[in-house]
Amino acid sequence: MKKKKNSGLIPDAAALDKSDLVALFVDKKGFIERTLREASCSFGRTLNQAAKDVNVLQSETGKAVNKLAIGEKVDLNEVMVAVEKARASFNQLTEIRNKMMDAYREILKMQK
């Protein structure tokens, strides 16, 4: 039986024979730990990039508002759009942080 390659974290059951399935479930602790490690790295990188993106938006918005305040020629609509984008992205990042803190508190409650 020829095995197909699967790019996901969970192997394709149709591509595995019986001995592979047994090995997978016998080694499930290592598989789960590896999966969690890969997911946490990816999540951490994603969250870090989101924070950097919010910072860039806030910085660009600050520059646009400063230009408007000192009387440079800028499009008021573009400034308002930049302000709203920065506000919405900051609010979204704040909500993600709040949900993570709630999840952390729930995990602490489970350990008691």
- CA atoms within a 13 Å half-sphere pointing along the CA-CB vector of 63: 5
Residues 6+ apart with CB under 8 A from 28: none
Smallest Cα–Cα separation from 50: which of 60, 39, 62, 58? 58
pLDDT score recorded for residue 35: 65
Q: In tens digits, what is the pLDDT along the chain, a chain of 112 residues? A: 444 444 444 445 455 455 554 554 555 556 666 666 666 667 778 888 889 999 999 999 999 999 999 999 999 999 999 999 999 999 999 999 899 899 889 988 887 7
Q: 73 in the Ramachandran plot: left (φ > 0), alpha (ψ -120 to 50) or beta?
A: beta
- What pTM does this model have? 0.59
Amino acid at 95: E
Token pair belonging to 84: 């709203």
Residue 36: per-residue pLDDT: 62
